[in-house]
A and B are shown apart, each in its own frame.
Chain A
Amino acid sequence: MATLQLNNIVKQFDDTQVLKGIDLEVHDREFVVFVGPSGCGKSTLLRIIAGLESASSGDIMIDGQRINDVGPAERGLAMVFQSYALYPHMTVEDNMGFSLKLAGVPKEERRRKVREAASVLQLEPLLERKPKALSGGQRQRVAIGRAIVRNPSIFLFDEPLSNLDAALRVQMRIELARLHEELDATMIYVTHDQIEAMTMADKIVVLQGGVVEQVGSPMELYHHPRNRFVAGFIGSPKMNFLEVELVNAGPESVEVRLPDGATCEVPVDGSGLGAGPLTLGIRPEHLRLEPEGPLSGRIEVIERLGGVTSLYVRMQDTLVTVSADGNVDSRVGDILRFGFDRACAHLFDAADLALPSLSRHPLAGLNRQDNRTPSVTSGQ
């Protein structure tokens, strides 16, 4: 159980600055996910926390203690690697007990602790096997088991699911969430997959180019992205962006002209808005087919997933994704008219920053742990 604090972490490799001053707080028992495109510095940040890499400047604090100069093992953390990094020449039991062996824990106690961790992960029947004789999912569980045995104050996960196939990934995702509840530990998880971030995190840290773009709960990032990058990164399929013209800006709403010429009011605070191009952001699931809708375009591609159908609609030079009902009977080449939910629309200024929304989404503050408490509106 521990809190982690990062103060102005900078990492410099020769001439390139990989991390440009990261400030972050991770609370006790929180599941924090670092997410971002490859090369954004998320893995480097995790390795700095682990102690495998040193920060060029800044402080890393665990429970208020500065640990920059403390070795990886003494930090009391455990890390699960993307490649699992199991010791190929040791059995599962020896893999999981290696840290205890190095710490000089007597054999009997070692056995007991390894068996304890193995039972949490249903690994008991595999203890005598070598990693070679395990499937990908089993190896992953051994890697997690090795971390559990150390009883760390913070678990670090470096893209642990990216080597698994899609079905197994979903299963392990659920298992990790369950594990987090069971162990009640602080966990930091790095991924490039925003679905993993959305489903597992209490708090998501979106990184890009070595900078934290936004920190918040999954629902906050979805409903109130701070800028265009976060808006585009979180949510699947990706948010649509349309170039629009400013007609009228005020503190209660901003009126813009859509590409087709129609105007509409978006309920955001436009009081400080200067001149310059504006971008309207609408998620595919907030677009709906309306015969009298203000937007129209020709359908180029149709993807039917059964429950949902994605329609890719050409509007001048942008391809807009519309998530429609699974039973929609549109065909490629059809002209589609559609509208959108104003309250769910986002407006970005010339610097790609989102204009503040007038109303806060009721679930924006919700984190994963709140999911377990009964909701106010539920029928009991």
Chain B
Amino acid sequence: MTTLKTKQALPADGQPASASANGATRARHTPLVPSAGARRLWLTLLGWGIALIIFFPILWMVLTGFKTEAEAIADPSLIFSPTLESYIAVQARADYFKFAMNSVVVAFGSTLLALAIAIPSAYAMAFLPTKRTKGTLLWMLSTKMLPPVGVLVPIYLLFRDFGLLDTRTGLIIVYTLMNLPIVVWMLYTFFKDLPRDILEAGRMDGASTFQEVIYLLLPLTLPGIASTGLLSVILSWNEAFWSLNLTSSSAAPLTAYIASFSSPEGLFWAKLSAASTMAIAPILVFGWLTQKQMVRGLTFGAVK
């Protein structure tokens, strides 16, 4: 091909025709490479395949929820007549909405509290760093490496003595503390991406620290704050260890609700599936609606 090209190009050298002749030679050879369309098809199929594998357990759970108990333990089958039998039975045994309300209050309450604490601390770390800021951040994150069960007994005793057992307040406190390191860390990185000059310009314009945060920092990092908040909501919603150990009935969230179906009389797969579907449905819809925001927030610094 190279020799062909030079042979063609040489006599035509200096004439405008040479460029187009050259281009035509190259174009005739390109179909030997697999086309971009075929490659994209393969990638699409692969992507769908992986997604299906990841999604399969949830799909199976949702399907099982619509089966009868007998069908649920029979040979796995995709063909069955859907029934709401399990849902009715589940609702008859426990009030779904009470648990759901607990989940909503606890997840959003702890997220708001965590943001209220984390925004000032991330501000201080990002804009007024000291020698120990990096170390503090790492130490905060390292607390996440401690297995929660390690502090179960002291926390349980504290909760008992302060009358926090089986209260929403208690769960909000625990979830706030649980998510705080991640929330601070994420906000810190979002804040760090904000050019210092903008805040300094605000200070020159007469903004107090509070006005700086309200008028400049929060509006400018809103995508980041929103995705941090969403993550915190999801983590709190899905948390099971503390909710199972610190609540029993009045403050129990949906995770405790699911668990209550796996105990005394053995496992009832259809009812358990129906309960689980109901427990994850709100957060699934919530995640679906906010996924654009999540992605935008998590790639905030990268695309700016």
Task: Give which listed residue, B197, B204, B215, contacts A83 with CB less than 8 A.
Answer: B197
Distance (whole angstroms) from the CB of A231 to the closest CB of chain B: 34
B117 contacts partner chain A, Cβ-Cβ < 8 Å: no
* Contact status of A78 and B197, CB under 8 A, knowing A87-B216, A88-B220, A89-B220: no
The closest CB in chain A to the CB of B205 belongs to A99
What is the interface residue range for chain B against chain A? Answer: 10 to 19
B211 contacts partner chain A, Cβ-Cβ < 8 Å: yes
- Looking at chain A's contact residues, is the secondary structure mostly helix, strand, loop, or mixed? loop
Distance (whole angstroms) from the CB of A84 to the closest CB of chain B: 8
The closest CB in chain B to the CB of A152 belongs to B204
The closest CB in chain A to the CB of B206 belongs to A73
Distance (whole angstroms) from the CB of B129 to the closest CB of chain A: 13
- Number of A-B residue pairs having CB atoms within 8 Å of each other in the complex: 57
* Contact status of A102 and B211, CB under 8 A, knowing A77-B204, A78-B204, A87-B201: yes
Contact indicator A72/B203 (Cβ below 8 Å): yes
Most buried by A among B195, B200, B205: B205
The closest CB in chain B to the CB of A158 belongs to B197
Q: List chain B residues, Cβ under 8 A from A79.
A: 200-201, 204
Q: List chain B residues, Cβ under 8 A from A85.
A: 195, 197-198, 200-201
Contact indicator A73/B220 (Cβ below 8 Å): no
Q: List chain B residues, Cβ under 8 A from A84.
A: 197
- Looking at chain B's contact residues, is the secondary structure mostly helix, strand, loop, or mixed? helix
Contact indicator A73/B197 (Cβ below 8 Å): no
- In the bound complex, CA of A146 to CA of B198 (Å): 13
A277-309 interface code vs B (CB 8 A; 1 in, 0 out): 000000000000000000000000000000000
- In chain A, positions 121-179 with a C-beta closer than 8 Å to chain B are 146, 150
B207 contacts partner chain A, Cβ-Cβ < 8 Å: yes
Contact indicator A102/B195 (Cβ below 8 Å): no
Contact indicator B205/A150 (Cβ below 8 Å): yes
Q: List chain A residues, Cβ under 8 A from B220.
A: 87-89
Q: List chain A residues, Cβ under 8 A from B204.
A: 50-52, 72-73, 77-79, 99
B219 contacts partner chain A, Cβ-Cβ < 8 Å: yes
Contact indicator B206/A83 (Cβ below 8 Å): no
Q: List chain B residues, Cβ under 8 A from A78.
A: 204
* Contact status of A81 and B200, CB under 8 A, knowing A87-B216, A88-B220, A102-B211: yes
Task: Give which listed residue, B195, B205, B219, contacts A98 with CB less than 8 A.
Answer: B205
- In chain A, positions 21-66 with a C-beta closer than 8 Å to chain B are 50-52
B301 contacts partner chain A, Cβ-Cβ < 8 Å: no
A103 contacts partner chain B, Cβ-Cβ < 8 Å: yes
Contact indicator A146/B195 (Cβ below 8 Å): no
Give 16 A-B contacts (CB < 8 Å), ordered by A residue: A50-B204, A51-B204, A52-B200, A71-B203, A73-B204, A73-B205, A73-B206, A78-B204, A79-B201, A81-B200, A84-B197, A85-B195, A89-B219, A98-B205, A146-B201, A146-B205
6 interchain residue pairs of minimum CB distance: A73-B206, A85-B197, A99-B205, A85-B201, A102-B206, A81-B197
8 more contacts with CB within 8 A, not counting A52-B204, A83-B195, A87-B201, are A78-B204, A85-B200, A86-B198, A88-B220, A98-B202, A99-B206, A102-B207, A146-B205
Interface residues of A (CB under 8 A from B): 50-52, 71-73, 77-79, 81-89, 98-99, 102-103, 146, 150
